[in-house]
A and B are shown apart, each in its own frame.
Chain A
Amino acid sequence: QQQVKQSPQSLIVQKGGISIINCAYENTAFDYFPWYQQFPGKGPALLIAIRPDVSEKKEGRFTISFNKSAKQFSLHIMDSQPGDSATYFCAATVRDDKIIFGKGTRLHILP
């Protein structure tokens, strides 16, 4: 059973556009929702994270929107740049314990 479902699998966005990646979860015990960015040949790196007591968190061009009732959350990348091209993983944890990752979204920003 996949605990964190992520879509789309791949995404192509024009430079300057908005990239949107969506995730859904089932386990209501999850209390921490991080997003990771992974470049080829590298390990995942924490990008931004949110707890379910807030509906939105913004850090620079990256925003997480969180809908607790729908058990969904999304990552928005504003003014997308070619350097943002990477694989993005949503994830969830219970009390910051082991991380449950989604399957990932391969994002490509066209120059």
Chain B
Amino acid sequence: GAGVSQTPSNKVTEKGKYVELRCDPISGHTALYWYRQSLGQGPEFLIYFQGTGAADDSGLPNDRFFAVRPEGSVSTLKIQRTERGDSAVYLCASSLTHPGTQYFGPGTRLLVL
């Protein structure tokens, strides 16, 4: 389909390891968003990109989290020195413009052991 895709769908890692989560937005969408959804909670905003640049990264919890979108399409969320508290579903969304209706991907379920 033509929706937002995220890979991997599941990721299990050990505490202290580095992980990368990938998001492929809907083709042509200029804005891309990352959210984190902990168990039993609503999604929480992390960062959004307009084109290649991070327009708002105020939701990133600390400097272990970083995201890039080098060509204005695919984005990668990078987490260094993972902690058990990072376990959550990481959701990506894209919109044609910002502001605009955000379309969410299925998420990557991250488990840090």
Seen from chain A, the residues whose Cβ lies within 8 Å of a Cβ on chain B are: 4, 6, 41-46, 89, 91, 93, 95-104
| Nearest-Cβ distance from residue B104 to partner chain A, whole angstroms | 3
Nearest opposing residue in chain B for A4, CB measure: B42
Known: A98-B48, A98-B59. A43 touches B104 (CB 8 A): yes
The one of B40, B43, B59 that contacts A44, using a Cβ cutoff of 8 Å: B43
CB nearest neighbor in B for A104: B42
Point out the residues of chain A lying under 8 angstroms from B107, CB to CB: 42-43
User: B91 contacts A43, CB within 8 Å?
Assistant: yes
> Can you pick out 9 interface pairs between chain A and chain B where the beta carbons lie within 8 Å of each other?
A6-B42, A43-B93, A43-B104, A43-B105, A43-B107, A98-B48, A98-B56, A101-B44, A102-B42
CA–CA, A91 and B104, complex, Å: 14
- For A41, what are the chain B residues with a Cβ–Cβ distance below 8 Å? 106
Which of A42, A45, A89, A98 meets B42, CB within 8 Å? A89
A95–B41 alpha-carbon span in the complex (Å): 24
Is B4 among interface residues, defined by CB-CB distance under 8 A?
Answer: yes
Do B99 and A97 touch (CB < 8 A)? yes
Minimum Cβ distance to chain A for residue B43 (Å)? 5
Interface SS of A by simple majority: loop
A97: chain B residues within 8 A (beta carbon): 56, 99
State in angstroms the CA–CA spacing of A41 and B109 once bound together. Answer: 9
Cβ-neighbour of B100 out of A91, A96, A103 (below 8 A): A96
Shortest CB–CB separation between residue A96 and chain B, in angstroms? 3
Which residues of chain B come closer than 8 Å to A102, judged between CB atoms?
A: 42
CB pair B40–A100 under 8 Å, yes or no, is: no
CB proximity to A under 8 Å, residues B83-113: 91, 93, 98-107
Contact partners of A45 in chain B: CB under 8 A: 103-104
Q: Decide: A95 and B40 in contact? CB cutoff 8 A.
A: no
- A98–B9 Cα distance when bound, in Å, is 24
Q: Which 4 residue pairs of A and B lie closest in terms of their CB atoms, listed nearest first?
A: A96-B99, A43-B104, A101-B42, A98-B45
Measured between alpha carbons, how far is A103 from B107 in the docked complex, in Å?
A: 17
